Amino acid sequence: MKKVFIILIMSFLALAAGEKTIDQEMDTNSKIKAVYIYNFTKYIEWPEEYLMERFVVGILGKDESLFNELEKMAKVKKV
């Protein structure tokens, strides 16, 4: 299940990485993507052994704005 989730997230991010927009629009898209990833995790029933481990999100490509948004979100929200 964990591998499927990681593959799903990486596929989503790979498709999103191909978008080329202006800086402000990229920032908005990155915020939306970060919130989507966070909210997606709420609908998954995590096994007990996973609840105490770190949650790792992999980003495929060089989407620095998405990385920054996820990093900001990780400081204030927990999965």
44-77 confidence digits (pLDDT tens): 887 887 777 777 888 888 888 888 998 888 888 7
Could you tell me how far CA 65 lies from the centroid of its own chain?
A: 12
Q: Tens digits of per-residue pLDDT, 4-56?
A: 677 767 766 666 665 554 555 557 888 898 889 888 888 888 788 777 777 78
pLDDT at 62: 83
Could you tell me how far CA 63 lies from the centroid of its own chain?
A: 11
What ranges do the domains of the chain cover?
2-76
